[in-house]
Amino acid sequence: MTPTMPDRAGELIRALGLARHPEGGFYREHFRSVREVVARGDAAGRPRSALTAIYFLLLEGEPSRWHAVSSDEVWHHYEGAPIELYSVDPDRLELQCRRLGPATGDQDPVLAVPAGHWQAARAMGPYALAGCSVGPGFDFADFKLLREDDAMERRIREAFPDQADLI
């Protein structure tokens, strides 16, 4: 099923110049630091941007699929519906489900996902606009969709069947 595009979401996609993201949703990188760092623990020792930031828009019914990046990622809610943000520690296989949205008792406007954790997200209404800041900076070479890791996909599917639709 293709989600319906709310008028405001279409306006944001055009105004911000967003494009489809491989994990789902729409995005555009709007900042990439010229300062470079070498991440501690990076066996290759390759320099990368210190920080990157994107706009990220999700439509209801079109989630951000389970994926992992090798850096810490901080999500910021900008407008629209709250977002359910899931993360799984790959070592302990513990699921966290948090709500990103305007500050209330059960949701926060800023949430972080630690480096290497599997994550997925879904809008809890017609659309949600967020930002994601990644440090050390995002590189698609460090991006992995869960469906590309057969063993981990099987573990997550078995441990968390209610979130299997996010694969």
Does residue 72 lie within any of the structural domains? yes
What are the C-alpha distances in Å from 132 to residues 6, 28, 76, 108, 154?
22, 10, 6, 14, 27
- Confidence band (pLDDT; 50, 70, 90) for 117? very high
Per-residue pLDDT reduced to its tens digit, 140-149: 988 999 999 9
In a domain, 160, yes or no: yes
Pick the more confident residue, 5 or 64.
64
CB 18 within 8 A of CB 26: yes
Q: Is residue 2 part of a domain?
A: no
Q: What is the pLDDT of residue 43?
A: 67
Q: What's the CATH code of the domain at 132?
A: 2.60.120.10
Whether the CB-CB separation of 73 and 119 falls below 8 Å is answered with yes
What are the b/e assignments for 79-95, b being 16+ CB within 10 Å?
ebbbbbbbbbeeeeeee
pLDDT at 132 over 70: yes
Cβ-count burial of 143 within 10 angstroms (0-12 exposed, 13-18 middle, 19+ buried)?
Answer: middle
pLDDT surpassing 70 at residue 1: no
In a domain, 73, yes or no: yes
Contact call for residues 89 and 57 (beta carbons, < 8 A) = no
Give, for 150, the enclosing helix (H) or strand (E).
helix 150-159
Q: pLDDT at position 45, please? A: 78
The mean pLDDT of 64-92, rounded to a whole number, is 97
Q: Is residue 42 part of a domain?
A: no
What's the domain count of the chain? 1
Q: How confident is the model at residue 3 (pLDDT cuts 50, 70, 90)?
A: low
Percent of the chain with pLDDT over 70: 97
Whether 41 shows a pLDDT value over 80: the answer reads: no
In a domain, 30, yes or no: yes
Domain that holds residue 90: 7-37+47-166
Which pLDDT value is given to residue 2? Answer: 57
